């Protein structure tokens, strides 16, 4: 019973965003939540950290030409905290992010990433620092994430990481998109809903 593609690995060039407690308002400012669809949100990722009040470009990895093809975001602790806006992972995905490696994540943000098929990988803090330094010094370097084995490979080394088991199973089994899962199993939905008194 699947509704979305199985995701057993991820990878690509890395981009590092340093700092603990980066909240969803920093990822996508609230004024951009008025959009009717998520299309086009990517360009507003970290908007207030990338541009000044006059629209002038500031120094930020998302503005750096060397990282425009990056797809693996490397962050620190408690990333995605604050309000539970689903626009945050939507914006990151539409910028080009396909996986996120960090020391820790806000629970709701992590769940919102899973719903988009974005693996959220937990790595020990010291190792995160080393990876961020490598990404910053090697913009063209490739990072490979093995979701099944729970490991990250880069620069000739392999690091054991943690992926919450419920997330790992959902990704590997192709059941991370719950809406697609329901749509692809209409008969089962009908049978189960028929047993629930309050929706008969």
| Residue 155 is assigned to a structural domain of this protein | yes
Looking at residue 88, its pLDDT comes to 95
Give the count of domains, the chain: 1
Find where tokens 């905290």 sit: 81
| Residue 39 is assigned to a structural domain of this protein | yes
| Residue 197 is assigned to a structural domain of this protein | no
For the chain, give the percent of residues with pLDDT over 90.
78
| Residue 111 is assigned to a structural domain of this protein | yes
For the chain, give the percent of residues with pLDDT over 70.
86
Q: Is the pLDDT of residue 193 over 70?
A: no
Find where tokens 């192709």 sit: 174
Question: Domain of 46?
Answer: 9-174
User: The CATH number of the domain where 65 resides is what?
Assistant: 3.20.19.10
pTM over 0.85: yes
| Residue 40 is assigned to a structural domain of this protein | yes
Provide the CA 30 distance to its chain's centre, in angstroms: 19
Edge-to-edge strand list for the sheet holding 120-122: 120-122, 99-102, 72-74, 9-16, 142-146, 151-154, 157-160
| Residue 72 is assigned to a structural domain of this protein | yes
Least confident of 3-12, 43-52, 61-70, 173-182: 173-182
Q: Is the pLDDT of residue 185 over 70?
A: no
């Amino acid at each position: 019973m699947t509704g979305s593609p199985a995701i057993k690995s991820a990878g690509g060039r890395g981009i590092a965003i340093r700092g603990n407690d980066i909240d969803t308002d920093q990822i996508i400012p609230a004024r951009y939540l008025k959009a009717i669809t998520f299309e086009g949100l990517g360009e507003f990722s970290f908007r207030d950290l990338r541009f000044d009040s006059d629209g002038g470009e500031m120094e930020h990895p998302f503005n750096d030409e060397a990282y425009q093809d990056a797809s693996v975001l490397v962050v620190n602790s408690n990333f995605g905290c604050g309000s539970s806006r689903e626009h945050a992972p939507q914006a990151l995905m539409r910028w080009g992010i396909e996986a996120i490696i960090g020391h820790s994540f806000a629970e709701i943000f992590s769940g919102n990433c899973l719903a988009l098929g974005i693996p959220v990988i937990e790595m020990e803090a010291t190792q995160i620092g080393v990876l961020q330094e490598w990404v910053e010094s090697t913009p063209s370097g490739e990072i490979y994430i093995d979701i099944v084995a729970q490991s990250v490979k880069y620069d000739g080394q392999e690091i054991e990481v943690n992926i919450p088991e419920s997330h790992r199973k959902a990704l590997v089994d192709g059941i991370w998109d719950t809406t697609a899962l329901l749509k692809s199993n209409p008969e089962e939905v009908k049978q189960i809903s028929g047993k629930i008194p309050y929706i008969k």
